[in-house]
Structure 1
């Protein structure tokens, strides 16, 4: 039997539903939740709010913060769901390095992303930034072992489908939280 994931990283571009899915997944798994956007330093947030795309150099301190959160959870056997755009394969490799990390890609067509972002209020990441994220995104490769889910489904359906697929890969997910993470 495969060891179940300890860290779940819900990834996708702006508007894909990372926060909604991540929160719901953490509730279903009865585990911690960390919103990756909260790890961005203020200069990054101000850039994005001004519709200025981030560069790799801007993202480095953010990725280090995310990596520290992942390592902290890993070292303490704290099952955790984290949201993160993780647009590039090198970012995903950096974040999955500790092991027992499962990537979850929310696959949403561009037209739906545009619709969602045009309706978004109270968030610095607006529609104007979507195209830079899509341009920066490097497709998920088979060796990344990401679970790809249909982001057009309702959040409940997305999480149910995700957990169904994940349980086939990791049967110990049928156990209670305190049984599955300490096997």
Structure 2
């Protein structure tokens, strides 16, 4: 696996549909590895945020500049020899491949997987987020589960935050050591 060939500082994308906990898990993973965390939602152009806030799903064309910005951040961290944890839905394989191409070898993904009912519950409980629960269906329809892709670990969100993070760290350690997850 490519991940085993890199330095010890991780370059990670925490991915999944809205409501899966990308930000919370990403922040804790970054703290665990003592690397910066970047909230991918903050890199969206204002036009994307406005569309989502209105309940309009994003298109591939809408996501292109956003993914380029995320890829630039990953590449910059890699070029500096620094680690980074970044949250990004990365719903399609083509999006993940774009990020892989930008970041270079050693990029890993933590895919946060959960049931529709749990995702809906989490989205309904959060305050102040621009993404309405009504867009969950379009995200689930767009999602291409990364089950056969390299350097991806899948972590269930059916646990508390500390348990999810512990499971992610454990899966990433197995991935780094070359053990199948």
Tell me if both proteins adopt one fold, taking TM over 0.5 as the criterion: yes
Range with bigger deviation, 37-46 or 150-159: 150-159
- The residue aligned with 1:128 is 134
Q: Which runs of 5 or more residues in structure 1 are unaligned?
A: 172-183
- The residue aligned with 1:150 is 156
- The residue aligned with 1:2 is 4
User: Matched residues in 1 for 2:4 and 2:67: separation?
Assistant: 28
2:17–2:139 CA contact under 8 A, matched in 1: yes
Q: Which runs of 5 or more residues in structure 2 are unaligned?
A: none
User: 3-state SS of the aligned residue for 2:111?
Assistant: strand
Range with bigger deviation, 103-112 or 140-149: 140-149
Structure 1 residue 153: deviation in Å?
A: 1.1
Structure 1 residue 143: deviation in Å?
A: 2.8
The equivalent position to 2:93 in structure 1, one of 89, 100, 104, is 89
2:16–2:22 CA contact under 8 A, matched in 1: yes
The equivalent position to 2:76 in structure 1, one of 64, 72, 76, is 72
Structure 1 residue 154: deviation in Å?
A: 1.1
Structure 1 residue 155: deviation in Å?
A: 1.3
- The residue aligned with 2:50 is 46
Query: Map of 1:21-36 to 2, 5 A cutoff?
Result: 21-36=25-40
Alignment of 1:103 onto 2:109: yes
TM-score normalised by the chain length of structure 1? 0.89
User: 3-state SS of the aligned residue for 1:2?
Assistant: helix
1:120–1:126 CA contact under 8 A, matched in 2: no
User: Matched residues in 2 for 1:142 and 1:125: separation?
Assistant: 29
User: Matched residues in 1 for 2:149 and 2:21: separation?
Assistant: 24
User: 3-state SS of the aligned residue for 1:144?
Assistant: coil
- The residue aligned with 2:124 is 118
- The residue aligned with 1:168 is 174
User: 3-state SS of the aligned residue for 2:109?
Assistant: strand
TM-score normalised by the chain length of structure 2? 0.90
User: 3-state SS of the aligned residue for 1:72?
Assistant: helix
User: Matched residues in 2 for 1:141 and 1:74: separation?
Assistant: 25
User: 3-state SS of the aligned residue for 2:164?
Assistant: helix
